[in-house]
Amino acid sequence: MQHLLKDDPDVAALIKKEESRIENTLDLIAAENHSPRSIMEALGSIFNTKTIEGYPGKRFHAGCVYADEIEELAISRGKELFDAEHINVQPHSGTSANLAVYFSVLNVGDRILSMSLPHGGHLSHGHRASITSRCFDFIHYSVDRETELIDYEEVRTLAEQYRPKMIVAGASSYPRLIDYEKMAVIAKDVSAYLFADMAHIAGLVAAKVIPSPVPHCDFVTFTTYKTMMGGRGGVILCKQDYGKKIDSAVFPGCQGTSAVNVIAAKAVIFKLARAQHFVDIQKQTLSNAVLLATELAHKGYRLVSGGTENHQVLVDLAAKGFDGSAAEQTLESVGIIANRNVVPRDAEHPGAVSGIRLGTAAISARGMSGQEMPRIAHLIDSALVNSGNKEVLKQISLDAEALARKFPVYA
Ligand code: DSN
């Protein structure tokens, strides 16, 4: 960072502090991951200079010869990795990608059926605070009250009653697999498009350690920075028939110039995702989640849906008498970084946030395995149980830091 240190020591100092925070804490945010250095190099590359509009071979600015090559490389690698008919690598984020999907084949006011936020859905799936809810008429499905799994019968009933033009299968807080085949049958029966938002699980899908939504869906979106490990950005996959509509919905529909340095990082991760090392990390992410869930359950924590089949463990803290926000703060005070989260039961109590969402992607990327999960569960439990005891919390924070330092992110 020699140039940054000279031009702006304040920003350089904050970057150093952030690096130290990341190295010395345990990152259990399910929506984060540690990208390889090569991703950072692509993101910080000279491609940052280039302004592009349009698509390879059909640009609105000169000088795109290498920008075209890099976008074509990302396109061919991404299509192959996910076995997709068409891909658009330009979306800035998951929400941008989702907006483009909606606007590609729907008109303002059209009806969409998606998962409700307290039951696991995402803001961009029509939450009232999201612009998506002002553009489209969203109806929401939920999880079953008892099992906390998607209630496919309810999805069918709502689909038949409300005849949505699109059904969204995807979640930001759902620790279970989604039955895309079942969703596709329902969508077909009501002549709706099926759209999967696999932002959280794209890395697991790329590594083929969980089923892919791609064969069953008209549209699939994902972000590249969660389990996918490829830096910030969004991607859309779709059937060939919708390729032109998707491309014009992204540019010029929803975005102007796209970031070529970010497209370069996407190309890199689509290559790295084929390597055994990436697959091993994704396998470890899954088994670490199961182990962490099992350890926490043994300590008396109630897990939403009773367990996990992906990288997420959603803990309902109400039975233990803890609140999600307080738990998040206590854990952060000892160097365990996670986020408070609504759980299905909160849907009936507006304002309540009874859960904490844990993700195992980042700790697995830095090399932690089964041996470390009981220790992490113990640290979490001890911190929550001793949340008022500064001395105990201090010792837990030293233990968490020692564990983190054993597994350097960027050795
Ligand atoms: N979708 C948000 C989350 O799951 O935390 C951010 O990526």
| Model confidence at 62: pLDDT above 90 | yes
Contact 141, 150 (CB under 8 A): yes
Contact 235, 259 (CB under 8 A): no
Backbone angles phi, psi at 342, to 5 degrees: -70, 150
Taking the CA atoms of 118, 197, 194 and 205 in sequence, report the sign of the dihedral they define.
negative
Which atom of ligand 1 is the closest one to the Cα of 200?
4
149 burial (CB, 10 Å; 0-12 / 13-18 / 19+) is middle
Which amino acid, one-letter code, is at 395? Q
What pLDDT was estimated at residue 212? 98
The verdict on whether omega for the bond into residue 118 sits within 30 degrees of 0, i.e. cis, is no
Which atom of ligand 1 is the closest one to the Cα of 122?
1
Which atom of ligand 1 is the closest one to the Cα of 226?
7
- Give the whole-number percent of the chain exceeding pLDDT 70: 100
State the number of CA atoms in the 13 A half-sphere of 49 facing the CB.
6
- Mind spelling out the 3-state secondary structure of 155-167? HHHHHHHHCCCEE
pLDDT digits (tens, 9 = 90+) for 318-343: 989 999 999 999 999 999 999 999 99
Whole-number Å distance between alpha carbons of 240 and 223: 21
| Model confidence at 317: pLDDT above 90 | yes
Distance 330 CA to ligand 1 centre (A): 21
What is the maximal distance between C-alpha atoms in the chain?
Answer: 63
**pTM for the complete prediction?**
0.97
Pocket of ligand 1 (CB under 6 A): 31, 122, 172
Distance 49 CA to ligand 1 centre (A): 29
Whole-number Å distance between alpha carbons of 411 and 362: 15
What pLDDT was estimated at residue 411? 79
Which atom of ligand 1 is the closest one to the Cα of 173?
4
Contact 85, 244 (CB under 8 A): no
| Model confidence at 16: pLDDT above 90 | yes
Backbone angles phi, psi at 10, to 5 degrees: -65, -50
Domains and their CATH numbers in the chain: 40-272 (3.40.640.10), 276-406 (3.90.1150.10)
Contact 343, 277 (CB under 8 A): no
Helices (H) and strands (E) in the chain, counts: 16, 17
Got the DSSP string for 123-156?
GGGT-TTSTHHHHSEEEEE-B-TTT-SB-HHHHH
316 burial (CB, 10 Å; 0-12 / 13-18 / 19+) is buried
Distance 354 CA to ligand 1 centre (A): 17
Quick one: average pLDDT of 263-290? 98
Q: CA separation (Å) from 15 to 4, 53, 182, 402? A: 10, 31, 46, 22
State the number of CA atoms in the 13 A half-sphere of 325 facing the CB.
3
Distance 31 CA to ligand 1 centre (A): 5
Distance 231 CA to ligand 1 centre (A): 14
Give rounded-to-5 percent helix, strand, coil for the chain. 50, 15, 35
Distance 255 CA to ligand 1 centre (A): 21
What pLDDT was estimated at residue 350? 81
Got the DSSP string for 307-340?
S-SSSEEEEE-GGGT--HHHHHHHHHHTTEE-EE
38 burial (CB, 10 Å; 0-12 / 13-18 / 19+) is middle
What pLDDT was estimated at residue 349? 86
Which atom of ligand 1 is the closest one to the Cα of 225?
7
Q: Which residue's CA is the closest to the ligand 1 atom numbered 1?
A: 172
Token pair 């075209």: residue: 68
pLDDT digits (tens, 9 = 90+) for 227-266: 999 999 999 999 999 999 999 999 999 999 999 999 999 9
From 172, 200, 235, 357, the mutation candidate for ligand 1 (largest count of ligand atoms within 8 A of CB) is: 172
pLDDT digits (tens, 9 = 90+) for 70-112: 999 999 999 999 999 999 999 999 999 999 999 999 999 999 9
| Model confidence at 299: pLDDT above 90 | yes
From 93, 122, 232, the mutation candidate for ligand 1 (largest count of ligand atoms within 8 A of CB) is: 122
Distance 60 CA to ligand 1 centre (A): 33
**Any idea of the CA torsion for 241, 135, 99, 153, to the nearest 10 degrees?**
-70
Backbone angles phi, psi at 314, to 5 degrees: -105, 115
| Model confidence at 173: pLDDT above 90 | yes
- Mean per-residue pLDDT over the chain, rounded: 97
Distance 30 CA to ligand 1 centre (A): 8
Residues in the chain: 411
| Model confidence at 351: pLDDT above 90 | no
What pLDDT was estimated at residue 217? 98
Q: Which residue's CA is the closest to the ligand 1 atom numbered 7?
A: 31
Distance 338 CA to ligand 1 centre (A): 12
In which band, very low, low, confident or very high, does the pLDDT at 347 lie, cut at 50, 70 and 90? confident
Which atom of ligand 1 is the closest one to the Cα of 357?
5
Contact 198, 170 (CB under 8 A): yes
